[in-house]
Chains A and B, each alone.
Chain A
Amino acid sequence: MKRRDFFIKSVGAGLAAGAAFSMGGYRKLWGAPAPAAAYDMVAVMGGEPDAMFDKGISALGGITNFVKKGQTVVIKPNIGWDKTPEMAANTNPLLIKRIVEHCIRAGAGKVYVFDHTISNWVKSYKNSGIEKAAKDAGAKIVPANTENYYHEVTIPGASILRKAKVHELILESDVFINVPVLKHHSSTKMTATMKNLMGNVWDRGFWHSNNLHQCIADYATFEKKPTLNIIDCYRVMMRHGPQGTSVSDSMVMKAQIISTDMLAADTAAASMIKMSPEQIDYIPLASKKGIGRMDIENLIIHKIKM
């Protein structure tokens, strides 16, 4: 039981020491090179969220390229708001359901789903439809509403966010699947892959008051990076983000972007909502940190139309 081991270790060795110690253990698991995929990115258009994922993931060789038998998987959607799926403020529940199903079919030991919500978490989990979708597919839905679920880690590559309290599931799971929804965002202009990771940490106020864009880029350097990023662009909020005021704020785009490269995924996502990546300060900042590739024109992108 790795999760419990982690907990006991952290308690036993003291907070800071414990975190560093267990990080050492994770590096072995996470440092392993990602399986060679034929494509840097897969972009799917024209289907339902679940069907698009089926196509997209099989183009990447199936989920078994990322999830091994017996591994613990954590799926991190955006469940930030007490809004229904039509509002497009949260990740599409159908997509989450299908991802969980793939993981379980691949023999994952445990599949967890959580988000540090902004609205009341019980209502957000419920009204987003994600709680039911994930549970039906066999995942465990985990709260993230109290500080005790978070453990302090150091982020050596950071310029400002050198320390953060990160949800234990992110630290303890073998596989981390990041499933943001693409949205307009009032303060950062766009939210997708890297911005979604803000829901992994406890103190978001610090980010807001200490150069939000730099903190987003800083956190992206943290060693527990997503194994896979799946951007839900089925319904996309084009204005009044990140929560929207009405259904008319979003448009049905019926698209999905899948990549192991967070920066490349965000760069592609920016163009989907007709923005240049340079306009979104955290994208160039993350590029400077070497998070991934901003030059997506040089990447092998497999585009699927359904």
Chain B
Amino acid sequence: MNSPALRKVRIVLAVVVFIIITLSFVDFRHIIPDKWFNIILFFQFVPSILEFINLPVLASSGFIFVLGLTLITGRSYCSVLCPLGIYQDIMSRAGGRFKKKFRRYRYGKPYTVLRHVILAITLIVMLAGSVFLISLLDPYSIFGRSATYLLQPVVIFINNLIAAVLAFFDSYTIFKVDYIKIPFVVFIIPVLLLGLVSYLSFTRGRLYCNTVCPLGTFLGLISRISFLRIRIDSENCTHCGLCAVNCKASCIDFKNEHVDLSRCVTCFNCLTACRDDAISYGLVKISQGKAETEPDQDKRGFITGILALFAFIPRILRAQDVPVPTKESTVPENRTSPVCPPGGVSIEHFTKYCTACSLCVSACPNRVIIPSIMEYGIAGIMQPRMDYHKGFCNYECIRCVEVCPSGALLPLALEAKKLTQIGKVNFIKENCIVETERTDCGACSENCPTKAVQMVPYIGNLVIPEINNEICVGCGACEYACPTKPYKAIFVDGNPFHQGAKKPEEKELKVQELEEFPF
């Protein structure tokens, strides 16, 4: 089969997938229904496999389909389903405009050792119980972080410009939206990785996918034996090299009439390029059992580059922002554990399965989920946590749980979430306005959805907070509302293991009905 339609179908599918996934990450108006995310992200390989380990059900079995797809068609996943792959194709296309068409790409030898070492290390680290490397390198997660931290702010900026203009015409259908408030250092990882991927794809096509990406290497192991594959027909081939020039995976060695199937992403560009009807995509022929071993050659110090990147990270991480103490409150909050979002089960579970794709960060309507820096330790960098200085968890909302594709946040019904305690409230009387100023405040209690914080009589007419951790869910509404600076008078300390919260007691209201106005 060498129909040009193949390439067109690939492009159409890729564009559709790319638009849908990108929209999912920049959906700051939260228009996409929670339930749809399961479908949209069904095929994302790394999140799916992590979720499947937790919940082996059909909804988390997307990776099995991908394995099957790869076995049959080759690495179509990389061309049609991987958002970062499609992004690279867009970049390559842009790059093509700056480079003369006929010299666009040429055959390159594979970095066989390097890419298998990266895959092996990633797998070893994963088996040792850390998703650090796979989170860092997983293409879906790289894309997610880039979209959340780099693209969404741009979209919000444009939205806010339009909102300002429309407000002049008294229209509020588009309204101003706040940005996700994230620490500056958190930008560095997505900027560096997206920068690397963009540069490589702009100049060298799919070099990232075929050198660094552990998933690309892994799928390459399967695509070597795929049923359908790209073939060169010796009889027709004139060795013009057009196929290789158009191969963004640099995997066609036209002189030897050989296609490196481990690197081919089945983009079908070669099919369209060939004028001699010498290249086709079809079922493997039995006779074609030639072993394909390539001499390994490490070029251009890629290892050095990658190692330098890793060596650089801890240095960046030291630049944490520390709150600058002013005057008022005096007792620092004694936090023993970060708070991970509901459904996270425990810090251990959450950090073990979260690939830091940041979809929950982008989906949270209350902007309370932000990427961590060192709170979960260095391996947990960018894995999201709850920051109650930025917002609080809406009692009636489980959007993060619904969108999480990797099983880091396990399904939790709304009623169950309302009885899940992700942290415990702590009251520091010495910092409280009621104590220091001797005036009423009560912002914490107002915001508390369960009344785990209640105002009780204090001196004279004053009321002061009293806490009850039996019914506290750890939503952080109290902490968010507390106006003391720099230290809060009330704060939520994370539960390393999420616990059950008791349901707030429902006593019958004993008030006499009003028959007449009492005034």
Contact = CB atoms under 8 A, between A and B. Distances in A.
- The answer on A and B forming one complex is yes
A246 B504 contact: yes
Interface string B433-460: 1000101111101110111001100000
B518 A143 contact: no
A58 interface: no
Nearest to A246: B506
A146 B506 CA distance: 36
Nearest to A216: B440
Nearest to A245: B504
Given A248-B506, A281-B461, A253 B514 contact: yes
A243 B440 contact: no
A197 interface: no
Interface in B367-409: 394-397
A210 B394 contact: no
Contacts of B439: 210-214
Contacts of A206: 483
A301 interface: yes
A20 interface: no
Contact of B437 (A45, A122, A211, A242): A211
A213 B506 CA distance: 30
Contacts of B437: 209-211
A238 B509 contact: yes
Contacts of B366: 120
B517 interface: yes
A212 B172 contact: no
A187 B441 contact: yes
B440 A188 contact: yes
A272 B519 CA distance: 8
Contacts of A296: 519
A205 to B, nearest CB: 4
A287 B196 CA distance: 67
A302 to B, nearest CB: 11
B518 A274 contact: yes
A15 B152 CA distance: 31
- The CB with the most chain B CB atoms within 10 A, among A45, A209, A214, A301, is that of A209
Interface in A67-114: 82, 110
Contacts of B235: none
B98 to A, nearest CB: 40
A123 interface: yes
B442 A212 contact: yes
A274 B513 CA distance: 11
B461 A245 contact: no
A205 B443 contact: yes
Interface in A112-151: 118-120, 122-123, 127, 140-143, 145-146, 148-149
A255 interface: yes
A120 B454 CA distance: 22
A251 B508 CA distance: 10
A146 B176 contact: yes
B133 to A, nearest CB: 36
A159 interface: no
B127 interface: no
A188 B518 contact: no
- How many chain A residues sit at the interface, stated as a range, is 35 or more
A239 interface: yes
Contacts of B455: 186-187
Contact of B440 (A127, A274, A281): A281
Contact of B394 (A3, A123, A249): A123
Contacts of B513: 251, 253
A185 interface: yes
B511 interface: yes
Contacts of B164: 148
Contacts of A238: 509, 511
Contact of B396 (A123, A142, A212, A239): A123
B514 A303 contact: no
A251 B461 contact: no
A244 to B, nearest CB: 9
B326 to A, nearest CB: 13
A288 interface: no
Nearest to A273: B511
A214 B519 CA distance: 25
- The CB with the most chain A CB atoms within 10 A, among B396, B511, B519, is that of B519
A297 to B, nearest CB: 8
Contact of A119 (B394, B440, B483, B507): B394
B517 A43 contact: yes
B518 A187 contact: no
Contacts of A242: 446
B440 A213 contact: yes
A208 B483 contact: yes
B170 A208 contact: no
Nearest to B175: A143
A142 B394 contact: no
Contact of B519 (A140, A250, A268, A279): A268
Interface in A207-257: 208-214, 238-240, 242-243, 245-246, 248-251, 253, 255
Contacts of A188: 440, 442
B30 interface: yes
A4 interface: yes
A255 B394 contact: no
Given A186-B442, A301-B519, A245 B450 contact: yes
B184 interface: no
B284 to A, nearest CB: 54
Contacts of A274: 511, 518
Nearest to A255: B514
A267 B519 CA distance: 9
Given A4-B168, A245-B451, A271-B519, A185 B508 contact: no
Contacts of A211: 437, 439-440
B514 A120 contact: no
B454 A186 contact: yes
A110 B171 CA distance: 12
Interface in B139-193: 164, 168, 170, 172, 175-178
A242 B170 CA distance: 32
What 8 pairs across the A-B complex have the smallest Cβ distances?
A: A187-B442, A205-B483, A186-B445, A209-B483, A211-B439, A271-B518, A146-B176, A143-B175
Given A43-B517, A245-B450, 12 more contacts: A45-B517, A82-B394, A127-B396, A149-B176, A211-B437, A212-B442, A239-B509, A242-B446, A243-B449, A246-B506, A268-B517, A272-B514
14 contacts: A82-B394, A82-B397, A118-B447, A140-B170, A140-B172, A148-B164, A185-B442, A204-B443, A209-B483, A214-B439, A243-B449, A255-B514, A268-B519, A271-B519
Interface of B: 29-30, 164, 168, 170, 172, 175-178, 365-366, 394-397, 433, 437, 439-443, 445-447, 449-451, 454-455, 461, 463, 481, 483-484, 504, 506-509, 511, 513-514, 517-519
